[in-house]
Structure 1
Amino acid sequence: MMIKQLPDNDKPREKLIAKGAINLADSELLAILINTGRKGHSSLEVAQDLIKLAHSLRELKSFSLNDLTKVKGIGLNKAVILKAAFELGERMHVPDIEEKIKISSPQDAADYFLARMMHLTHEQFEVLFLNSKNIVIRHEVIFVGTLNSSIVHPREVFKAAIKWSSNAIIVVHNHPSGDVTPSKEDIATTKRLQECGRVLGIELLDHIIIGDAKYLSMVEGGYLEN
């Protein structure tokens, strides 16, 4: 059934206006973004096809443009709109650097990244660059790895730290498995970064591992002396 044939209170746009976005199903919100369907199928049906293919919104967010366009009714323009919407939603959880956020604890560092990184399906290694008062100057993605490994070179981390005149850094990476237990490679990488930081006079304050709605601090876990 085409959306125009539905009662007004069942049409996604009208339902959002009348009841608010929170009362719409995932497929209804997607249908609004998709806007138009394909021949014989409404935008709501195309949205349902997307969710069925991805199994979850988390997986759908990780779809590439090419993945999205495999669904009939999703051309490149619609795929771009969907990717832009997913990215905006993700950025809503990232603090604005201009807010001058101070990192006073591992929890502060974890909160900075948790909402954005816990759903990633690949390993990503990022760094918080801090000034002498532990206020965030900037953060950068240093390395994007595979599901199982992340190779980080200290020169890349400290090259950026010097560029931003950092007094200290906190490194953060995620485990797509959700398990925050550090691997031998994680521990070795942390110790290597700490040693290099001491030589350069840029302190490594912590290494945070992000999992599924949880985190581990290398300092709190006793893996890193600080």
Structure 2
Amino acid sequence: MKSYSKKLQDRPLTRLLQKGVSSLSNAELLAIIFGKDVNWKGRKITALELTQKVLRKYDLKRLAKASIGELEKFFGIGKVRAAQIQAIFELARRVNSYVEDVSPIIEKPEDVFKIVGSEMQDLEQEVLKVLLLDSRNRLIKVEDVFKGSLNESVFSGREIFKLAFDYNAASIILVHNHPSGDAEPSDADIQMTKRIMRLGELLGVNVLDHLIIGSNSFKSVKESF
């Protein structure tokens, strides 16, 4: 039988304080967020046991996408703990998409993915964003243009180029996600991108590219011409 002091040493919070956060498993990290243990039918279930059960059903990627309703199906996870899980992953997404005060220079599609990829790849509906750049390709701003099913009316260019003029952008890059996870541009994506590029030439705004974001992947529409 483990001694009381040994049990204390095995607790996730104690291990974090003694050995550092990187030494903990995913279940231990989540247990620290949950905090309190759960009583069920006279038996005490530790927060760590609860998180181990959760992670046997969901890997981290699926857990990040789970709704509050799905999470509440687990005994011991009510609305508060389900909300805690969603808040953790939302913070992680915001950290990954955080733009430093020193504006990054966008030189290639990979640079775009680093800025918006983690935020967009798990979205369940289509979202169109525009990256607004100055004459040296430094990022000025990332703006949402549209949420929902993208069609030709969305790509008419009105809102896109209004943002470019509002921010005095010399060039822009369009980005939208495919909720299916497949980043391959469709024929419609290609044709609409060509039309926006032609319109940009007429208006004096260089449309550098249009990226499609999939599941941990991306494709340049321009490179598909």
Fold equivalence (TM over 0.5): yes
Which aligned pairs between 1:64-143 and structure 2 lie closer than 5 A?
64-143=67-146
* CA 159–52 in structure 1, closer or farther in 2 if over 3 Å, else same: farther
In structure 1, what is the Cα distance between the partners aligned to 2:36 and 2:171? 50
Q: Secondary structure at the match of 1:28?
A: helix
Q: Which residue of 2 aligns with 1:190?
A: 193
* CA 132–21 in structure 1, closer or farther in 2 if over 3 Å, else same: same
For structure 1, which segment, 13-22 or 67-76, has the greater mean C-alpha deviation from structure 2 after superposition? 67-76
- Does the aligned pair in 1 maintain the 2:189–2:221 contact within 8 Å? no
Q: Secondary structure at the match of 1:70?
A: coil
Q: Which residue of 2 aligns with 1:37?
A: 37
Q: Which residue of 1 aligns with 2:182?
A: 179
In structure 2, what is the Cα distance between the partners aligned to 1:159 and 1:92? 28
* CA 192–70 in structure 1, closer or farther in 2 if over 3 Å, else same: farther
In structure 1, what is the Cα distance between the partners aligned to 2:53 and 2:92? 21
Q: Secondary structure at the match of 1:158?
A: helix
- Does the aligned pair in 2 maintain the 1:94–1:116 contact within 8 Å? yes
In structure 1, what is the Cα distance between the partners aligned to 2:176 and 2:6? 46
- Does the aligned pair in 2 maintain the 1:38–1:72 contact within 8 Å? no
- 1:169 is displaced (CA, Å) by 0.8
* Cα offsets for 1:75-100 (capped at 9, x unmatched): 33333332222111112222425221
Q: Which residue of 1 aligns with 2:54?
A: 50
In structure 2, what is the Cα distance between the partners aligned to 1:79 and 1:86? 11
Runs of 4+ deviating beyond 6 Å = none
In structure 1, what is the Cα distance between the partners aligned to 2:100 and 2:7? 46
2:211 maps to 1:208: yes
- 1:189 is displaced (CA, Å) by 2.3
Q: Which residue of 2 aligns with 1:168?
A: 171
- 1:176 is displaced (CA, Å) by 4.2
In structure 2, what is the Cα distance between the partners aligned to 1:61 and 1:213? 14
* CA 68–155 in structure 1, closer or farther in 2 if over 3 Å, else same: farther
* CA 67–144 in structure 1, closer or farther in 2 if over 3 Å, else same: farther
- 1:38 is displaced (CA, Å) by 2.3
- 1:69 is displaced (CA, Å) by 3.0
In structure 2, what is the Cα distance between the partners aligned to 1:143 and 1:27? 37
Q: Which residue of 2 aligns with 1:199?
A: 202
- 1:59 is displaced (CA, Å) by 1.4
In structure 2, what is the Cα distance between the partners aligned to 1:181 and 1:62? 22
For structure 1, which segment, 166-175 or 120-129, has the greater mean C-alpha deviation from structure 2 after superposition? 120-129
- Does the aligned pair in 2 maintain the 1:127–1:142 contact within 8 Å? yes
Q: Which residue of 2 aligns with 1:27?
A: 27
Q: Secondary structure at the match of 1:89?
A: helix
Q: Which residue of 1 aligns with 2:17?
A: 17
Q: Which residue identity is paired with 1:35? A: G
- Does the aligned pair in 2 maintain the 1:97–1:138 contact within 8 Å? no
Identity %: 36
Q: Which residue identity is paired with 2:36? A: T
For structure 1, which segment, 91-100 or 20-29, has the greater mean C-alpha deviation from structure 2 after superposition? 91-100
Equivalent of residue 162 in structure 2, options 159, 163, 187: 159
Give the TM-score taking structure 1 as reference length. Answer: 0.81
